[in-house]
Amino acid sequence: MANRTARIPGNLLLWPLVGSALMAGIGYFPTLSITGQSGVEAMIIAQVVVLVVVYVTLISAIYRMIDADKSRRFQIVLQAGAIRFILTLVISIVVAWKCNFRMEVFLIWVVIAYILMINIETLSLIYWNKKLGN
């Protein structure tokens, strides 16, 4: 088992932020030209929602994995995925219901951001699992 003092690499925590920033940069002009400024605002809100959820599940899983054996770490990763899905769904519904912006653009960008961030979070947790060793 790994010890409680395992150092979490800073780059591991930067990957979701970099992915979200790249996605916003790439999506900005197409979203602006198709939907206008209100669509860009909806895009940014969607990315923030997904990014916050990813950080909540990623950081939680990272700390839970430190003292876990290899088979338990796999379960933690699966649980993080399920929690990420449920949180994203619930928060997105609440935000879409409570906020006044282009809901269709928001929901499309939630899906786009979620798909990208699933990959980033999974790769981050695989990297962390390898760092922890057996």
In a domain, 2, yes or no: no
DSSP string, 58-122: HHHHHHHHTT--HHHHHHHHHHHHHHHHHHHHHHHHHHHHHS-S-HHHHHHHHHHHHHHHHHHHH
In a domain, 1, yes or no: no
- The pLDDT value recorded for residue 1 is 46
In a domain, 4, yes or no: no
The total of structural domains in the chain comes to 1
In a domain, 3, yes or no: no
Contact 61, 127 (CB under 8 A): no
Domain span at residue 101 reads 10-132
Walking along the chain (134 residues) 10 residues at a time, the average pLDDT comes out as 63 92 96 95 96 95 90 92 96 90 93 95 91 82
In a domain, 92, yes or no: yes
In a domain, 85, yes or no: yes
In a domain, 34, yes or no: yes
Q: What is the pLDDT of residues 47-70, one digit of tens each?
A: 999 999 999 999 999 999 998 998
